[in-house]
Structure 1
Amino acid sequence: MKIGIMRTKTALILSVCIISLGIIQPIQAQSPAKTVTLQAVEDSFLVKNYLLLAQRYQIDASKALTRQAKLWNNPSFSTVLGFGSTDKVQPFKVGSGGETQYTIDQLIQLAGKRNKNIQIAAAATRMNEATFDELVRTLRLQLRENFYTLYYRRQTGKVLKEQLENLQRIVDAYVAADKKGSVAHADLVRLQALQVGIENDYADLKQEELEAQKNLQQLLHSQDFYEAVVTGTDLAPYRLDHIQLSPLLDSVAINRPDVRIASVEYQTAELNYRLQKSMAVPDLHVGATYDKKGSYIDNFIGLTLGIDLPVWNRNQGNIRAAKLQIGAEKQQLQQQQSIAQTEVLNAYQRIVALEKRYKSFDLHRFQDEFDTLIAEVAKNFSKGNISLLQFIDYFNSYSDNAKNINKFLSNRVNAYEELNYATGQELFKN
């Protein structure tokens, strides 16, 4: 009789715990995490990331070099101060009866060398600007991927944590019942094995969440912990309705920073080739001279002209090398354009494939129906209509469903961000 009463109490305890599995509300854990939106994270990123700040200095430095290239060469000045003669040395005899000579000389670059150097310096500025844009493009993708990874992993973690809390109540009840001999010990072992498996999944999930958290902290150079907030409004722009593939492929030459870098390198090679050809033309030295007593008349003044004679060195090697460099940079540019178009095509096709799955069924409705199903399963298990093995199978399916749905949603939004990255544009904005 006592055994029957004990079994009845145990059944009631299990029924309450199991039914709560389907209807219990998630427990809100206290967390010191800082709640942030994607926009807030990006605003902080643009002003705090050290790599971006360093590259901005590079841009300013290259602009300073462009200004430097516009400056003329300084004139040179030389003097001869009389020291008498070999018969009678008279140091610094420059006064009455002494000798003094002054010469000033200005280098004048011919064949447009100065303008070509200015153009090359300006190209270096464009290169640094494109490098900055490429750095922003790369780091922004990392920032957004880690932000969304953090959000969706945490959503999955909430489900698993709730499952673990509910499962712990069931295991505790089974442990108490096992001590009294009212349940099979093998059933307790199966439940504990299920618990260990979900705890391992939860630990792996928290590790992925911490990795995303660490990456965000490094990008923002902060020690704060973040809790990502994503709303339906944030996700609404992620759709292909207004996007056409052909214009995206054609626009990579303009919008992709890495393609612009390759283009500037090609332009710089052409500018350098023209500069090297102009270097074969000697520069002109123009100046004036004054000679107090060393010429055929006193106080002699004269115009000085000088030019190198291009007899041996006509810059042949540099001209040849610069011409070959043009060919190399042209091939690099074509290669980069091809890579960019391939990346755009692959990113677009990936979204198309994901959208087919996304639109084939309502994930949120499916999740709600699965929540109802697991509650019904719990009730039927408490009534003895479902075996423990069947219950464990449904329990595992519920956890797997939560993980798979959030992983799919994370992959979907990251696929759109990869298309942003591939095109070098912000295609999906509110």
Structure 2
Amino acid sequence: MRTKTRLILSVCVASLGFFRPVAAQTPTRTVTLQAVEDSFLVRNYVLLAQRYQIDASKALVRQAKMWNNPSFSTVLGFGSTDKFQPFKVGAEGETQYTIDQLIQLAGKRNKNVQLAATATKMNEATFDELVRTLRLQLRENFYTLYYRRQTGKVLKEQLENLQRIVDAYVTADKKGSVAHSDLVRLQALQVGIENDYADLKQEELEAQKNLQQLLHSQDFYEAVVAPADLAAYRLDHIELSALMDSVAVNRPDVRIAATQYQTAELNYRLQKAMAVPDLHVGATYDKKGSYINNFVGLTLGIDLPLWNRNQGNIRAAQLQIGAGQQQLQQQQSVAQTEVLNAYQRIVTLEKRYKSFDLHQFQNEFDTLISEVAKNFSKGNISLLQFIDYFNSYSDNAKNINKFLSNRVNAYEELNYATGQELFKN
């Protein structure tokens, strides 16, 4: 009886196939990172909306360059208090016409143009910041989807192989040829791996959902990563000091803070200019209301700055300059700190990555598991030992893929921290 059971188990274990990949379910679309990014730039609604904001701010620059429209007024004769004659504008009647043009002094118009141009720069930097943030999310979810699926293939294969062993043990248990406790241990192992697989699928679905939201699509994606795509992730050509110095130019959030500071300075100059009254220049025509008929005159007007000299707005704008300067320094400090930490994280991960060959280690572990399976089928190792090796194999697959995912994401975080595309083939 036990010999027959041993033969059943031998056949099941021999079919474990640790080296044979199991065909995964084919998703709707197979995509590379480049294809996902190309779609993202033309389909993401947030980016499209921000592009409209940029175009709108450019239109406001054009508007700021416009001169104020002249104003026109007229007086139509209505006779006198002695004799009321509505609209008496004929040969014996009175009409008067005045046209007036506002001329802004102290360079107010040019300063408004500069402020509008700065608003455009702000919207452009905001767009770049959106791209930077959303691109990091896109890439992190893309690589998460890829590496979780690689781990899922291993766990799915293990579950299929383990199911064969459990089925054989169930049959043998019914015949009383194996200890029931051994069947319980195998079933507990099966439940544990099923839970791990279910958790992994949840993480995969979360990454799918995030990609769908970023791309505004209902398609399901299978991420494809070639070895050449990962070859660019290295620090050989990177100098930390250069990265730290470049954040003021390349980081959109730093440029936003710098633009806000520049806006505060321009606003201060404008508010000082607003203290200078504007000039009104025009012409007037009076048919019969003056000392002579058909009187023509030049009109000049200016506000008298006796009480309101824009003191409050000037003081507020001056204080905003100080606030903007502090915010700029804060943002530069934050950016440099993020660059330093992202760089150090890569250095730490690279020490582990280069300390041993992960692919060689995986191949050796596959060989080890194959030998374990053979020895278990021959009865050279116990069920508990087999379960221990079985668990170690799944843990190894999860840990390696998680480490590789963390490593790639660390490089992408350095891209994000610097505001540059540092790692391209």
Q: Do these two structures clear the TM 0.5 threshold for a shared fold by scoring above it?
A: yes
Partner deviation per Cα, 1:137-196 (whole Å, 9 max, x = no partner): 000000000000000000000000000000000000000000000000000000000000
Partner deviation per Cα, 1:216-250 (whole Å, 9 max, x = no partner): 00000000000000010100000000000000000
- Equivalent residue for 1:134? 129
Q: For residues 244 and 118 of structure 1, what CA distance do their matches in structure 2 show? A: 40
Is 1:206–2:201 an aligned residue pair? yes
- Equivalent residue for 2:280? 285
- Equivalent residue for 1:414? 409
- Equivalent residue for 2:149? 154
- Equivalent residue for 2:258? 263
Contact 2:19 2:366 in 1 (8 A): no
- Partner residue of 2:20 out of 4, 18, 25: 25
SS at match of 1:302: strand
- Equivalent residue for 1:246? 241
Q: For residues 117 and 140 of structure 2, what CA distance do their matches in structure 1 show? A: 35
- Equivalent residue for 2:29? 34
Q: For residues 138 and 233 of structure 1, what CA distance do their matches in structure 2 show? A: 25
Partner deviation per Cα, 1:366-409 (whole Å, 9 max, x = no partner): 00000000010111111111111111000000000000000000
SS at match of 2:75: strand
| 5+ long unaligned stretches in structure 2 | none
Deviation at 1:23? 4.2
Aligned AA (2:10)? S
Aligned AA (2:365)? F
Q: For residues 214 and 27 of structure 1, what CA distance do their matches in structure 2 show? A: 25
Contact 1:146 1:212 in 2 (8 A): yes
Q: For residues 411 and 364 of structure 2, what CA distance do their matches in structure 1 show? A: 28
- Equivalent residue for 1:111? 106
Deviation at 1:33? 2.6
Deviation at 1:22? 4.6
Is 1:189–2:172 an aligned residue pair? no
Deviation at 1:414? 0.2
Is 1:49–2:44 an aligned residue pair? yes
Matches within 5 A, 1:264-413: 264-413=259-408
Q: For residues 27 and 418 of structure 1, what CA distance do their matches in structure 2 show? A: 33
Q: Which moved more, 1:29-38 or 1:326-335?
A: 29-38
Deviation at 1:268? 0.2
Contact 1:276 1:319 in 2 (8 A): yes
C-alpha spacing 1:24/1:371, structure 2 compared with 1 (3 Å):
closer
TM normalised by structure 2 equals 0.99
- Partner residue of 1:228 out of 223, 226, 229: 223
Contact 1:75 1:104 in 2 (8 A): yes
Contact 2:77 2:94 in 1 (8 A): yes
Aligned AA (2:102)? L
Q: For residues 159 and 422 of structure 1, what CA distance do their matches in structure 2 show? A: 34
SS at match of 1:290: strand
Q: For residues 19 and 401 of structure 1, what CA distance do their matches in structure 2 show? A: 21
Aligned AA (1:312)? W
Deviation at 1:16? 1.7
Contact 2:24 2:153 in 1 (8 A): no
SS at match of 2:193: helix
Q: For residues 119 and 24 of structure 1, what CA distance do their matches in structure 2 show? A: 66
Contact 1:22 1:372 in 2 (8 A): no
Contact 1:22 1:374 in 2 (8 A): no
The alignment of Structure 1 onto Structure 2 pairs a total of residues equal to: 425
Contact 1:22 1:371 in 2 (8 A): no
- Partner residue of 1:170 out of 165, 179, 199: 165
- Equivalent residue for 2:8? 13
Q: For residues 72 and 8 of structure 1, what CA distance do their matches in structure 2 show? A: 102
Shift >6 Å, 4+ stretches: none
- Equivalent residue for 1:3? none
Partner deviation per Cα, 1:247-299 (whole Å, 9 max, x = no partner): 00000000000000000000000000000000000000000000000000000
SS at match of 1:147: helix
Contact 2:100 2:282 in 1 (8 A): yes
SS at match of 2:288: coil
Q: Which moved more, 1:174-183 or 1:384-393?
A: 384-393
Q: Give the RMSD, CA atoms, in angstroms.
A: 0.7
| 5+ long unaligned stretches in structure 1 | 1-5
C-alpha spacing 1:323/1:238, structure 2 compared with 1 (3 Å):
same
Partner deviation per Cα, 1:191-220 (whole Å, 9 max, x = no partner): 000000000000000000000000000000
SS at match of 1:301: strand
Q: For residues 152 and 203 of structure 1, what CA distance do their matches in structure 2 show? A: 15
Contact 2:145 2:208 in 1 (8 A): yes
Q: For residues 33 and 354 of structure 1, what CA distance do their matches in structure 2 show? A: 34
- Equivalent residue for 2:424? 429
Deviation at 1:8? 1.6
Q: For residues 96 and 217 of structure 2, what CA distance do their matches in structure 1 show? A: 67
